[in-house]
Chain A
Amino acid sequence: MDDVAKAIIAVDGAKVSFGAVKALDGVTLRVMPGECVGLVGHNGAGKSTIVSVINGGLTPHDGTVTSDGERQERYGINAARDRGVRCVFQELSLCPNLSIVENTRLVHRALGGFGWRSRAAEIIEKSLDAVFPGHGIDSGLTVGDLSIAERQMVEIALAFSDAGTPARLVILDEPTSSLDASLARQMLDHVRRFIAGGGSVIFISHILHEILETCDRIVVMKDGRVVAERPAQGFDHHGLVEAMGSVAKAETRQRPVREQSAAHAILSHQASGLPFTARTGEIIGLAGLAGHGQTELLLALHAARSGNWLPQRNPLVTFVAGDRRLNGVFELWSILRNFSIASLGDMSSRGLVLEAGEKAKGAAWKERIEIRTPNMDNRILSLSGGNQQKVLFARALATRAPVVLMDDPMRGVDVGTKQEVYAIIRDEAARGRTFIWYSTEMEEVCLCDRVYVFREGRITAELVGHAVNETNIISASFEGTA
């Protein structure tokens, strides 16, 4: 096999199972030098698992890993790093208590010895400048002080950085999920430059046009198998969605413009810039570049309307977290308990939780938003990321709160699930619920009835009805930057 001899990494017939779940069911994947391979599929299709096999984090129960024509018997994370395999994880993996420079040192084991700080600073700054020109991130900052987008940028730059062993294969697992359009553009351009220089990339994303325009070859996975593999020219947006087996329509239909200005105002907030008001039954989008104050507004709205001391019988607001590991899931608990925590008041009498009612409500929501699990008593961490996010959604929607705050909740959720959730949101809004929705994806912002555009912590523009479109939002986001 000539192919295998040349491939940077070749995985043949890999099988991995976790208990009864077959995460990989005989996957064969080859990555050639100078090639960008796109990997797409639903949540739980096995994308993250094959990535773990390639970066040495998991040993397949069956099948082989070959690198540069040599069969790898004792393949592990260090062996993979020595071969120039780098990974940007879906769940951010930097140590938040350390500075960027110190994180660089952790990743590059060769950086030891006297004066490592200045060498590490040089390496990471060079890489940041190369990937994100004009990034404005100081490498002495502690990672915990960075916004989620900046953390993601550092992590990407770290993967491409070179300290002795140059990167040959970089795995990008949903790298753009926290980045806004312009940063994502910069990163994709860098990927193309890296490929042109003979490097290889495995690129995983739910944003299909990124995959289509960046990759040379696209591999579609479903239920732990490769179901389609073609050069990128062989796919179009529609074909890709079809190959993933999604029944939902790829193109979001232009929503009917709903006139809401007469509706009753339910929530208002005086932030800096334009005043913020929300009316009953409205879907309000918070747009603008990532990290320009949208999350802060959501947190302020939540803090102002929820009690820290007394339980509230009828809360006004409920929150869907975007950073689910930080302020979303309760890791020790089952799916059911994670779901029910926000609406326990409705499933109890005199402070005692009625377990039958809790179970019934959990089963109903499992059905309604299709949480893929055999049993709601399984631990929450047994679910894939997208399904965990669905549980958080169900948690919020199951409350009686008339206002739902959403902090970029679709991060890392597959196309089919997104369409299901959009439908639920529209349905709930029609019944009089208000949604305040921060999203980094233009497509989602365009679903909203009204959009506030943020710029440097201020609301700088308000778009209503037909004015809500990509051009207007982008021009409002960049306005005033001279």
Chain B
Amino acid sequence: MNTLVRQFGKPWVWSWLAAFIVWFLTILVTGGAGTLGLSQAAFTFAAFSVIVGIGQMFVITLGPGNIDLSVPATMTLAGTVALKLMNVENGMILPGLLLAVFIGLGVGLCNYTLIKALRIPPIIATLSMSFIVQSGAIWTNRGLRIKPPSVLADFTTSSTLGVPNVAIVAFLISILAWILLEKTIYGRWISAIGQSMPAARMAGIPVDGTRFVTYLFCAVLASISGYLLACFSGGAALNMGAEYLLMSIAVVVIGGTAVAGGDSNVPGIWGASLFMFLVVSMLNTYGLGAGIRLIMTGLIIISVIMLAGGRRGMR
């Protein structure tokens, strides 16, 4: 695999390059002032996209048609329900986290049940699931904004040795994901299924089991991300997951993972997540209006995908 990567260029280099260029252009304008603040903010916000994006990447690796659109609703539900259970008490932090993970497992289970038992395509199954989950969040929340326990609020908003704590959590999860993907049998299996499901079946891979675990993994990561995000932003809001629908898919694609499946990488997710945050802050720094900003964001994302995609086409 190493020689393979060397031969064809690492697909994740492009997202890191783009993130660095944008970061550089931003500090060029501020004249170096606020460099540390910008970098810390970038890592903090990127952390949430990284955690969600890794789950989405595993699902997309399963091959054409595999996608989890219930990610934002899962984040919202996990955030609201966990905060409600913890009820601002520090002693309830661990049960809250366990509940969030449990919600993720439940959503993943329902997603794959719909896909497998009712033979619904993943894009529709997970989207309809997301309506049910979102309704669940609205029902439990009832418009109340419960504050997170103080220890957790402090933890998510502070830094250790200059590195934001949430970024450290995301980094640990990334390492776990990298090991899963590159070093384990499970990683080989999802890549094989993504390349050809009939071939994977004939090679003796437990195809359904592997796909099921992958949908569970994605939903659990989404709920952990929702739990952290709710604590970070001082309470769960019903629309808090909304932007992560596009974000989770965009970071996977920009990060150099093959949309057709079978080929994915973890470092690219980080580069892409940093890039996505930095583009917005760069355009803010330049003082552009909201409309222009959105158009520019779109154009920049398209050009990065084209650049990365063009390289991959040359294989």
Give residues in A with beta carbon < 8 Å to B.
302, 306-312, 315, 318-319, 321, 326-334, 337, 341-342, 344-345, 348, 351-353, 375, 377, 379, 395, 399, 401
Q: Are A345 and B185 in contact (CB under 8 A)?
A: yes
Q: Are A337 and B1 in contact (CB under 8 A)?
A: yes
Which residues 175-204 of B have a CB within 8 angstroms of A? Answer: 179, 183-186, 188, 191-192, 195-196, 198-204
Given known pairs A341-B188, A341-B192, A345-B185, the reply for A309 and B204 (CB within 8 Å) is no
A306, B65: Cα distance in complex, Å: 25
Q: Are A342 and B206 in contact (CB under 8 A)?
A: no
Q: Are A328 and B184 in contact (CB under 8 A)?
A: no
Q: Are A331 and B195 in contact (CB under 8 A)?
A: yes
Given the complex, which residues of A lie within 8 Å of B2, measured CB to CB?
A: 377
Q: Are A353 and B184 in contact (CB under 8 A)?
A: yes
Given the complex, which residues of B lie within 8 Å of A318, measured CB to CB?
A: 204
Q: Are A315 and B204 in contact (CB under 8 A)?
A: yes
Among all A-B residue pairs, the 10 with the closest Cβ atoms: A327-B198, A309-B209, A330-B195, A308-B208, A319-B202, A342-B203, A344-B185, A327-B202, A327-B199, A377-B3
Q: 20 other contacts beyond A308-B208, A321-B199, with CB at 8 A cut-off?
A: A302-B202, A307-B209, A309-B208, A309-B212, A319-B204, A321-B202, A326-B199, A329-B196, A329-B199, A330-B191, A330-B192, A331-B196, A332-B195, A333-B191, A341-B192, A352-B179, A353-B185, A377-B4, A395-B203, A401-B204
Q: Are A310 and B204 in contact (CB under 8 A)?
A: no
- What is the chain B residue whose CB lies nearest that of A311? B206
| Shortest distance between the CB of A2 and any CB in chain B (Å) | 46
Given the complex, which residues of B lie within 8 Å of A375, measured CB to CB?
A: 3
Residue-wise interface mask of B (91-112) relative to A, using a CB-CB cutoff of 8 A (1 in contact, 0 not): 0000000000000000000000
Most-contacted residue by chain B among A326, A327, A379 (CB, 10 A): A327
Given the complex, which residues of B lie within 8 Å of A315, measured CB to CB?
A: 204
- Say yes or no for B77: interface residue by CB 8 A criterion: no
Could you jot down 12 A-B contacts, CB within 8 Å?
A307-B209, A311-B209, A312-B204, A326-B196, A326-B199, A330-B195, A333-B191, A333-B195, A334-B1, A351-B185, A353-B183, A379-B4
- The A interface is mostly helix, strand or loop, or mixed, namely loop
| Shortest distance between the CB of A202 and any CB in chain B (Å) | 32
| Shortest distance between the CB of A75 and any CB in chain B (Å) | 25
A379, B5: Cα distance in complex, Å: 11
Given the complex, which residues of B lie within 8 Å of A351, measured CB to CB?
A: 184-186
Q: Are A328 and B4 in contact (CB under 8 A)?
A: no
- Say yes or no for B262: interface residue by CB 8 A criterion: yes
A246, B251: Cα distance in complex, Å: 54
Q: Which of A328, A353, A401 contacts B202 (CB 8 A)?
A: A328
- Say yes or no for B263: interface residue by CB 8 A criterion: yes
Q: Are A308 and B195 in contact (CB under 8 A)?
A: no
Q: Are A352 and B204 in contact (CB under 8 A)?
A: no
Q: Which of B1, B207, B258, B262 contacts A330 (CB 8 A)?
A: B262
| Shortest distance between the CB of A297 and any CB in chain B (Å) | 15
Given the complex, which residues of A lie within 8 Å of B200, measured CB to CB?
A: 330
